A and B are shown apart, each in its own frame.
Chain A
Amino acid sequence: MEGRGWSRREFAGGGSLLALALGLPSAAVYLEGLDKGDAPSDRQRAIMREVADMVIPDTDTPGAAKAGVGDFVLLALAHGLEGSRAALAPDAVSSTIRQHLRRDGSLDHARWLENTLDRAVGGDWPAKPAERKLEALAAIDAEAFAEGAGPHPWRMVKGLILTGYYTSEIGGSQELAYEPLPGRYDPALPMGQDTRAYSNEWTGVDFG
C-alpha cells in the first residue's frame, strides 16, 4: 500500500472511457484507476454516498448524492487532498483510530468511517432504519465539533464532503451562484434573506 504505484493517476481502461461517455460522475471514473490498496469497496462507496447526502441532502436544489460527492471524497482521500494522507499527530491517535492507520501513519478515513458507523449502531449501519443511521452520524458530528474537542477524523471527511459538493456543478452553480465573467465590481450591494453566495468568489474560499 505504501510506496504506492502511480498508475492510479492514469485513466483505467475502456470501462472508464465508457463511463465518461455516459456522463457518469468523473470521480467514479478516476476511482477505477486506484491501486488495490486504495480502492474503496462497494460498501464503502455506498456508505460515503449516503453519509454525504445526510450532510447535504436534497432541498430545493439537489444534494450531495446526486452531485456524486461520495465518490469524490473517496478519490480525494486516496490522493491526500486537504492533508488527508498526512501522518496523524500522536495526540490525535486514539485506540479506535490506531487500528485504521496505514504504515506511514496516515489514517484510512474510509475504513475508519465504515467501522465507526457500524460500531455506533452495533452492527450493519447501511441496513439500519434511516433515523437510526442519521442519529449515529449526528452523534459523531456532535463529538467532532464539541467545544474543546481535539482533532477528529470526521472533520476531515466532512470537509471533503463540502469541497466535493460546492465544487460540483450542482453545488457550485445551482445551490450557489456561478458567474465566471462578472465584468464589473460592485463594492456595496444590499444583502437579504435570499442572497446566494457566488461559488467563484475565490478570496472567500481561500480565506473564509
Chain B
Amino acid sequence: MAQDFDFDAIVVGSGITGGWSAKQLTEAGLKVLMLERGPDIPHQTGYTTEMKAPWDMPFRGEGDEELYQREYAVQRLNRHFTEFTQDHFVNDAENPYQTGEGSDFNWFRSYNLGGRSLTWGRQSYRWSDYDFDANRRDGFGTDWPIRYADIAPWYDLVEEFIGVSGSMEGLPQLPDGKFQPPMALNAVEAAVRERISARWPERRLMVGRTANLTEAKEGRAKCQYRAICQRGCSFGAYFSTQSSTLPAAQAAGNLTLVTDAVVEKVDYDPATQRVTGVRWIDKAEGRRRSASARMVFLNAGSFNSVHLMLNSASEAMPAGLANSSGVLGTHIMDHPSTLSVAALMPGFEDVTTFGNRPTGTVIARYRNMDEMDGEGHTRGFSYQGGALQSAWVRGKREAGLGAEYKNSLRAPGPWRMVLVAFADCMPRETNRLMLDRVKVDADGIPQLKIDFAFGAEEHAALAQAKADAADMMTHAGGQVLMGFDRPGTGGGAIHEMGGARMGHDPATSVLNKWSQAHDVPNLFVTDGAQMSSSACQNPSLTYMALTARACDHAVQLLREGRI
C-alpha cells in the first residue's frame, strides 16, 4: 500500500501504546516504522539485574545516592527506581525539563525500548460512564465525544491479549472485563473486605486487577510471584511491549523498529493538509534522518507527544501541529495521591504468607456516583494498598542491641494495612505544557515547560479520602497509625495525561472521537495526551483500548482512500 511513501504508518514511541499501534497496524497488513528514542532492551537477555540478589549489587539494591542526586534527581523519587532498575529510567541531567513559576512536577520517564511498559504498575481498570460523562456533568473541561459503549469491545480485546488477572465484582463504576483468575487476598485483606462491606455495602475491597498472568499464554509463562517486575521479567509474565505486543507485531511481518531515534519534528504539507512523515536524530550515528508515511501515530507518552506537536510548528501551523484550537498543551492532569491511612491490624498474629504478590488491593470509587456526596469535590477517589507484615526494617524504629534484638527481627512482623488514595484531577486550562523560550536540550530542541498545580477539588477529595480511610480501618479492627490529606508533587502518580484532548468541537479540542487530529486527518495521537478527563483509576488500559480502536478506524480510512 505504501506507494510513494516509505511506510504506510510511522509510530512514534514503543511504550504501552506504541507497541499496540505497531501490533494492530502490522496485523492489518500495513508496513510500519516504529521509532524509539532510547536504546534497545531486548526481552530476556536485556534484563541484566533480574536474577541478582541485593548482595550482588555494589549498593545492595539501594543504589548510589550520590550518583542519583547528581544525575537522577527526579527519577530517584520513584518508589520503583532502585539500583536494580536504574537503567530503565532516564538520566535527568541529560534529559532536562523546566517547570513554571510556582509549579512543581516530577516527570518520571523511561527512554528505552518498551518505554514505561517495562516499569509500569500494571494496574488495569476499565473506566465507566461515571468517568466518560464527568466533564459534561460538572462542567470542568470539555465533554468526551465517546462513552463506555464505544470502548467496551476494545477493552475486551486488550484485556484478553495482554492478560489481566482480576475478580468479577459487578460494579457499575469499575466494569468487569475479560479476566484471568484473580490473585488471592491475604487473610487480613479478606477479613477487611468482609468487615467493610458489612458496614458500607457500596464500598468494595478487591484484589488489584493487574496485567500479570495467572495462566500461561502465547509464549508467556505465568507469574512467579517475585514482585520484581520493573527489572524486566524473562518469564514474560507481565505485559510489556517486549513480552507481548512487539513479538506480535514482528510475527505479523512488515515492522521496521529503529531505536536511538529521537523524533524532533512531524512534517506537514499545507497543500494536502496531511502530515507526510517525521524527522529524527539518530543518536547512535549522530546524524539526522527522516522517513515518509501515509499516516503518523504519536505514542511518545502524553507530554512528549504534545512536545513533538508544539515543536512541529510550521508556517502553516505557527501555534503547533494540529493546534488551530489553541488548546494544545492545556488541561494536563495527574492523579493527586497520598497515603490516606496506615493502620496496625491486630488479631492476625498466627498467619503469614508465602510468595510476593505483584499487586495490592483496591477499593473502588464510591463517592459522587448517583448521589453527589463528595465534600467540596464532584468526582471520585479510590484506594490502592494492601495488608502486609513489616520486615526487618521495623528494627530501625526500635531500641535494642544484641542477640535478643537480632532474634526479634527474624520473623515477619506485625500486620499493617495501608490505603493510598488516588483522586480525579480536574482538567484545567492553566495546567499546561509549553516550549521553553530559552532553554534547549543537548540536541538544540526547546525544552518542555510544565505549569501544574492541584486545586481546591483535589485537596477536598483527599481530605475526604483520609477521613473515610480512618473510619474504614477503625471499623475493620485496625489501629490508625497515620494518614495524610495533602497531594504529593504533581507527576507522582505517573499518570500524567491530557494536552491534546478529545472533544466534539474542533474549536475547543485537538482530537476527534477516533483519536484523530481535527486539523490533520492522517495524524493520530493515541497515548495519554488524548485524555479529556482523568477519572481516578489507572489509565493505561484505557490508552491501549483507545489505541486499538483508533488503529482499526485508521486502517478503514486508509482502505477507503480517505486518508
Contact = CB atoms under 8 A, between A and B. Distances in A.
Given A80-B66, A167-B61, A59 B353 contact: no
Interface residues of A, number: 71
B187 A203 contact: no
Contacts of B227: 202-203
Contact of B62 (A163, A185, A200): A163
A1 interface: no
A134 B401 contact: yes
A180 to B, nearest CB: 7
Interface string A170-185: 0011011010111111
B354 A182 contact: yes
Interface stretch (B21-29, B320-328, B411-419): B411-419
Interface in B480-529: none
A166 interface: yes
B58 A26 contact: yes
B65 to A, nearest CB: 4
A9 B354 CA distance: 37
B54 A63 contact: no
A208 interface: yes
Contacts of A185: 183-184, 225, 353-357
A187 B53 contact: no
B402 interface: yes
B399 interface: yes
Nearest to B418: A207
Contacts of A196: 410-411
B442 interface: no
Interface stretch (B281-289, B389-397, B433-441): B389-397
Interface in A30-62: 30, 54-57, 59
**Count class of interface residues, chain B:** 35 or more
B104 to A, nearest CB: 19
B353 A79 contact: no
Nearest to B66: A79
A208 B224 CA distance: 22
> Of residues A81, A134, A155, which shows the largest number of chain B Cβ atoms within 10 Å of its Cβ?
A81
A141 B400 contact: yes
B224 A54 contact: no
A40 B66 CA distance: 17
Contacts of A138: 401
Q: Taking chain B's interface residues, is the majority helix, strand, or loop, or is none over half, making it mixed? A: loop
A72 interface: yes
Contacts of B553: none
A6 B67 CA distance: 9
B375 interface: no
A142 to B, nearest CB: 6
Contacts of A203: 227, 356, 386, 388
> Of residues A63, A138, A189, A204, which shows the largest number of chain B Cβ atoms within 10 Å of its Cβ?
A204
Contact of A187 (B349, B353, B393): B353
Interface string A1-13: 0000010010000
Contacts of B190: 187-188
Contacts of A189: 351-354
Interface in A115-140: 134, 137-138
B393 A205 contact: yes
A162 B392 contact: yes
B406 A63 contact: yes
B562 interface: no
Interface in B344-390: 349-357, 386, 388-390
Given A79-B65, A188-B353, A205 B401 contact: no
A162 B393 contact: yes
A82 B413 CA distance: 22
B79 interface: yes
B183 A141 contact: no
B192 to A, nearest CB: 13
A23 to B, nearest CB: 12
Contacts of B55: 167-169, 172
A56 B392 CA distance: 12
Contacts of A66: none
A204 B226 contact: no
A207 B356 contact: no
Contact of B406 (A59, A78, A80, A202): A59
A186 B185 CA distance: 10
Given A164-B60, A172-B54, A57 B402 contact: yes
A87 to B, nearest CB: 12
A175 B407 CA distance: 9
A208 B389 contact: yes
A197 B412 contact: yes
B225 A201 contact: no
12 contacts: A9-B66, A162-B393, A168-B55, A178-B53, A185-B355, A187-B353, A188-B190, A188-B351, A192-B350, A197-B410, A201-B412, A207-B390
Interface of B: 51, 53-55, 58-62, 64-67, 69-70, 79, 183-187, 190, 224-228, 342, 349-357, 386, 388-403, 405-407, 409-413, 416, 418
Given A186-B353, A189-B352, A197-B392, 14 more contacts: A75-B59, A141-B401, A168-B54, A175-B410, A182-B224, A182-B226, A191-B349, A197-B413, A201-B356, A203-B356, A204-B389, A204-B393, A204-B412, A208-B389
The 7 lowest CB-CB distance pairs between A and B, nearest first, are: A208-B390, A204-B391, A145-B399, A182-B355, A167-B60, A167-B54, A185-B355
